[in-house]
A and B are shown apart, each in its own frame.
Chain A
Amino acid sequence: MNPADRDPAARRRLFGFLAALAILWPLFRMAEVKPGALFDAANLKVIGHFLGAFLPPETGAEFLAYLARATLETLAIASAGMALAGLLAVPLAYLASAAGREKPALNPLTRSLLTVLRGIPELVWALLFVRVFGLGPAAGVLALGLTYGGMLAKVYAEILESADAAPARALRLNGASRPLAILYGLLPQVAKELVSYTVYRWECAIRASVVMGFVGAGGLGQLMDQAMKMLNGGEAASILLTFMLLVFAADGLSGWLRRALDRPPAKRASPFGWRSLGLLVALPGVVLASFYFLGIGFGELFSLEAARSIGEFVAGFLSPDLSAEWLGKVAKGSLETLAISLVGTLFAAIGGLLLALPPWRAPFSFLLNSLRSVPELVWATITALAVGLGPFAGALALALHTTGVLGRLYAEALANVPAAPGRALRLCGVPGSLAFLYGTLPGAAPQLIAYTLYRWEMNIRMAAILGFVGAGGLGQLLYFELSLFHHAQASTVIVAMLLLSIAVDQASAWLRQRMR
């Protein structure tokens, strides 16, 4: 062959392929991937029995009373947490944003505070607050408030910056102060986006508060944890149904609010109609009722006593166990967690792509939404039955939930790719599959890769705690050591979790750069 005709990229591709194989193969081994377990007769019987018990859902009066209370608690945690987050986010966003400033100046101090707040996942916060403030909703509210406060502030600041700056600048030049310039010049442009993002986050908060229940922060999650542990299918079904209803209702509410914002305002002097007035009354009402319902005394939370116990607690964490034996255990746990996250994300990427491809969307959208609305921790308890305890159960649980998330995003991305290349190929007689591979996929690839990698960053954090329900990895170590008050050992595990997330973030950023 003419040397000039040799593909110069081939060597690099081959190397990349071999490197990926060399990295993935041991991780697959580590995640104990054995698809055969899915079809193992004994496992099938177990899972069939459990899922069979889903029908009929539990409807006993006593249980329904618990369920109602837990549902209210979840809603209250989400609402109170969001209120706290909003309280944090508005001033922080105002400080961090360049919007409405005469010279666009970022405030690096606020920005880095936001990064820290967002950087530690809400579950780790919840875990720590549960230990400091005792079990119950206070921990969940605080954890949500901190992480979501950081997230909201960052996004608010960016939304304000993305608006057309001219109206605000004109107001500033006429002598208006910065807050007024933002209120009159920017807010009208971005109000819809701000509100819909906030409502979207509230929906996320509901999901998150359910997950935090698994570490003892109250609400539906705690109830679900119990039902799952007791393998009580009927109860689990009722709780899951309630949870999905809650999520869909939140979805509906957010849609309604967004449509309301789209409508032109009525012709009257007061900007407030019955809807906005109702909301203005309802929102503080809901927040106050949430705090009251949860019985959180913030005086108690911010007392000297609490400060002392936080201090003691933190002190216990300041001397992580760095003995070789323990580090070895943590390293093994870290690798296992990494394996779970990678295998789970890969499976989800494949599953999501397959489910995103069919052109008739309705049944697949429904399937994807259902997959997505069940939290990973719940999937993990189910997959643990299907394939036995261990990392494979964790990887499968991640894969199931993430398939729902990625499938939806993939479908959107594919729908937005220019159709011309694929159509042109089909018009010269190319079969549909090849037209997709040569014409459509290359256009969507950057989006698909970015979605997948970002999702991997979320999954490494989730994989780190899946061990709480027996899926191996760092979570199991953390649960065990925290239960025994081995703070030095637990501290090592938390540090390992943070390092692992940072490492994955870096790797993902590098890959995104490389695969652009």
Chain B
Amino acid sequence: MSLALAGVGLTYANGFAALDGISLRADQGECIALIGPSGAGKTSLLSLLATAMAPSVGEVAVLAATPAGLGAAALKKLRRRIGTVYQAPPIPGRQRVVTAVLAGRLGQWPLWQGIASLFYPLDVPGARRVLARVDLADKLFARCDELSGGQLQRVGIARVLYQQADLILADEPVSALDPALALATVRLLVDEAKSRGATLVASLHAVDLALSCFSRIVGIKAGQIAFDRPAGEVSEAMLSELYASEGQELPMLATEPRFSPPAVATDVVTRTAC
């Protein structure tokens, strides 16, 4: 059993209840798509699975461990096995693609190796292999701020491929990609999970993508599970019910601003003076 949520609720400090009474189980190797309108709680659910947050009520077990009860070292060990693809790839613009990809295994490398790799990338062939799978091998030594938004998102995916996680979480992994590439990329994630027997949980905005690539679909609305069905059993009615508040059938790709430039006073000269 790969993950198990039992009666989980999550209430933020400002009183907003993001999740309420969620129970969900998945076996190792399962591929699940989370769908639902914006603000339904998909990202919050993924954060719980990523051990970024602890539930307010209920229990979360990930990869046969309960993160809430773990010490720092054990938690680190668990987190090594969880890889996350983010909607906005969390990669510094000045980093080179090769470094950004190799960073996926920093949790497994000893400290010295991580530091040494800053001076000379230690596993260039490995990085090249995963980049080839997202069709970016030619950008191996490029700087991330030279890439387009879609390319950068694929670098984020390559990093998770390189990490070889047992649980792959993906939060809108293809929102910056054009439809053809989006389809190919989601397939890649699913294939990767299947070939290594890893579990995949992805939240997707585009419903058609979810239905065509994933075997199990979980619809989320207002912090609760609206339905949890095999892809073939999801009906038009269920979908229109799910998206009723948005007034649209199949939500299209949405891109959010990825990087806000650091808001530091600009006049460095005067700030360093005196």
Contact = CB atoms under 8 A, between A and B. Distances in A.
A54 B252 CA distance: 71
**Residue from B118, B141, B260, B271 with most neighbouring chain A CB atoms (10 Å):** B271
A436 to B, nearest CB: 11
B103 A5 contact: no
Given A438-B103, A438-B114, A428 B79 contact: yes
Interface stretch (A65-73, A227-235, A314-322, A415-423): A415-423
Given A421-B91, A438-B103, A429 B141 contact: no
A403 to B, nearest CB: 13
A429 B92 contact: no
A420 B43 CA distance: 14
A6 to B, nearest CB: 8
A97 to B, nearest CB: 15
Nearest to A456: B272
Interface string B116-154: 001111001100100000000000010000000000000
A428 B80 contact: yes
Interface size on A, as a range, is 35 or more
A424 to B, nearest CB: 4
Interface stretch (B22-30, B93-101, B177-185, B242-250): B93-101
B8 to A, nearest CB: 18
B163 interface: yes
Interface string A432-464: 011101111011111100110011001000000
B53 to A, nearest CB: 10
Contacts of B237: none
A425 B163 CA distance: 11
A155 interface: yes
Contact of B52 (A6, A417, A423, A434): A423
A416 B262 contact: yes
A51 to B, nearest CB: 26
Listed from nearest, the 10 A-B pairs whose CB atoms lie closest are A429-B107, A429-B79, A442-B92, A429-B80, A204-B274, A420-B90, A424-B90, A5-B124, A430-B106, A421-B90
A85 to B, nearest CB: 14
B78 interface: yes
A474 interface: no
Contact of B259 (A201, A418, A444): A418
Contacts of A20: none
Given A437-B118, A438-B99, A442-B95, A427 B84 contact: yes
Contact of B264 (A5, A207, A447): A447
A445 B82 contact: no
Given A424-B84, A438-B99, A443-B94, A5 B128 contact: yes
Interface of A is mostly: helix
Interface size on B, as a range, is 35 or more
A418 B121 CA distance: 24
B227 interface: no
A9 B75 CA distance: 36
Contacts of A208: 274
B98 A7 contact: yes
Interface in B54-94: 75-84, 86, 88, 90-94
Contacts of A423: 52, 90
A102 interface: no
Contacts of A426: 79
Contact of A13 (B80, B84, B119, B262): B119
A13 B119 CA distance: 8
A201 B271 CA distance: 11
Given A423-B90, A424-B86, 10 more contacts: A416-B262, A416-B263, A420-B88, A429-B75, A430-B106, A431-B111, A442-B93, A442-B94, A451-B268, A458-B273
Given A7-B120, A204-B274, A439-B90, A429 B77 contact: yes
Contact of A416 (B108, B124, B264): B264
A434 B259 CA distance: 22
Contacts of B262: 413, 416-418, 443-444, 447
B106 A438 contact: yes
B213 to A, nearest CB: 24
B104 to A, nearest CB: 7
Interface in B227-274: 259-260, 262-264, 267-274
Contacts of A442: 92-95
Interface string A402-420: 0001000100110011101
A22 interface: no
A455 to B, nearest CB: 5
Interface string A136-164: 00000000000000010001001000000
A109 interface: no
Contacts of B81: 429
Contact of B141 (A7, A201, A207, A420): A7
Nearest to A416: B262
**Residue from B51, B77, B106, B124 with most neighbouring chain A CB atoms (10 Å):** B106
A434 B90 CA distance: 15
B128 A413 contact: no
A278 to B, nearest CB: 27
B128 A430 contact: no
A427 B50 CA distance: 7
A13 B118 CA distance: 11
Contact of A451 (B75, B77, B80, B272): B272
B160 to A, nearest CB: 8
29 contacts: A7-B98, A7-B124, A8-B141, A155-B270, A197-B270, A412-B264, A413-B262, A417-B262, A420-B88, A420-B90, A421-B90, A424-B84, A427-B52, A427-B84, A429-B78, A430-B103, A430-B106, A431-B107, A433-B111, A434-B114, A435-B106, A438-B106, A439-B90, A439-B92, A444-B262, A447-B268, A450-B268, A451-B271, A455-B272
